Structure 1
């Protein structure tokens, strides 16, 4: 990974998924935004950034680009990401939500073959407090420190960071892997990244109902991760979802535990892995301090 103030960053597309305030915040934070890709608008300037039609034009002028932030329409994300991969960009953050699942399957196959890290879709991105902001996370909630945060949620991750900051616990990195049905990088990948990160001393994992990624993460933490981990599962009081509209859906759940994907299942997995779980966001700093001692 290349997440330093010197990392060259571009933005692909302007849409409702990113605002002028978000771009200004990244610039003020010191993120090295070099250009915008907006086909048909090459030669213009937006928010003090030059606009290009193609990524290869940016590479020709500025050299190899480290990260792209994709904010195009969901149905254009695949083309934008494939163009980035073809230009040797190996870190792609997809802000746009609702990318078609088959497009994501195709993208992830290409990303795996080219060793490209995909964050999102439906992700506010990454922040390394005090160094670089990539995406739409509000930087005012963060302060430099040694707590890493990984989350499927978007806005909830800001609340967790705020709780830690107000308790005097700074953060080393915060990443939302995205909350679409199919996302690029997983909890497992980011657990490994933070476990190997020299700045990070403890990891906070924020999950939510749906799928089995938290259960897989709990097993992975118990077997592989050496650093202490605190978990929080949102939506524990939400009613269980029921999808019986189609026979195909019914066939997909036959043989599964009836609690699969529920908050109850995730809490059980963390309990079996002996990972402390906060009952509410405000309890996270207390658990963090206990483990750090």
Structure 2
């Protein structure tokens, strides 16, 4: 099993005719994802050739949904167009919108998250690599050849650290890996993924990757203490980050003692989470927990 994305997911790509949209569409298809078409109002009625498949280009998301039964969209449009793209997808009944675009204005993100939530659409991102259920499907830009299927669930604020932890644990494998994005406002949180992994019978251990800025990891720690029974192993990036400076992600800002890596690590450890000091040490902690009688691959 997996969370949010399975082999039954049918994917549209908003921005499929652009350079990035085309490149990542081909990668998703090569990974086995069921990409069924794309959306570009200016090129409606055309097609895109990708990995031996001819994909239709629709003028609207609703047309794509009606023609293909798509239930997932990957948003690869410029920042100025992202708000309208996500709202259009939600209005068309898309259940999952993966917003890869970075540089989305915060007020636009707030608006489209509220709009999507009211219509029952889950948003992952913005400024995220998306998610992958290895061996089943991927939506976004996570390479499919890093790791295969297994029984570890991964949720991360950092795209790069998503890839690194997948590589470190490639011999074990994953149920689903979710890069939620590092912006101040994101649609799917650590807590959302923790809840889904807790309910997923094929996820036996959860890896949580955080970084400096905000209080998402502290809130996740409180949720773990109250609601998560499965083992959780964590990693927090940013121990050497200078105070008051943005570090990569727009949400990665430290102010005084708030949002520091140390505070986050302490909160997670107080909730019973083992926290690695490096990605490699984090992987060793995962192996140690899995070695205590836990299975490491699907039946």
Report the TM-score when normalising by structure 1. 0.90
1:120-135 equivalent positions in 2, closer than 5 A: 120-135=125-140
Query: CA offset at residue 16 of structure 1?
Result: 7.1
2:66 corresponds to: 60
Distance 1:109 1:19, change over 3 A: closer
**RMSD (Å), alpha carbons:** 2.0
CA deviation digits over 1:40-81, x for unaligned, max 9? 101211233211111222233223x21000011111111111
* Cα distance in structure 2, aligned partners of 1:132 and 1:79: 26
The answer (yes or no) to whether the contact 2:205–2:230 under 8 Å persists in 1 is yes
Contact 1:17-1:71 at 8 Å conserved across structures: no
Matching of residues 1-293 of structure 1 within 5 Å = 3-14=5-16, 18=20, 20-47=22-49, 48-63=54-69, 65-165=70-170, 168-241=171-244, 258-292=256-290, 293=292
Query: Tell me, what secondary structure is at the counterpart of 1:230?
Result: strand
Q: Secondary structure at the match of 1:274?
A: coil
In structure 2, how many angstroms separate the alpha carbons of the residues matched to 1:212 and 1:274?
A: 18
Structure 1 position 242, deviation (Å) = 5.3
List 4+ stretches of structure 1 deviating above 6 A. none
Q: Deviations over 1:222-280 (max 9, x none)?
A: 1111100000011212222259xxxxxxxxxxxx9831011121112112212110111
Q: How many angstroms does 1:14 deviate by?
A: 4.2
Comparing 136-145 with 281-290, which one deviates more in the overlay? 281-290
Distance in 1 separating the partners of 2:148 and 2:269: 30
Aligned length in residues: 279
- Tell me whether 80-89 or 18-27 shows the greater mean CA deviation: 18-27
Alignment gaps of 5+ in structure 1: 244-255
TM-score normalised over the length of structure 2: 0.88
**Cα separation, 1, equivalents of 2:244 and 2:31:** 41
- How far apart, CA to CA, are the structure 1 residues paired with 2:255 and 2:182? 23
Taking a change above 3 Å as real, the CA distance of residues 15 and 206 of structure 1, as seen in their structure-2 partners, is farther
Partners of 2:19 and 2:259 in 1: how far apart?
28
Structure 2 unaligned spans of 5+: 247-253, 293-299
Q: Deviations over 1:119-157 (max 9, x none)?
A: 000111110011101110011111110000000001111
| SS of equivalent residue, structure 1 residue 34 | strand
Take 1:70 and 1:183, find their aligned partners in 2: how far apart are those partners? 14
- How far did 1:192 drift? 0.2
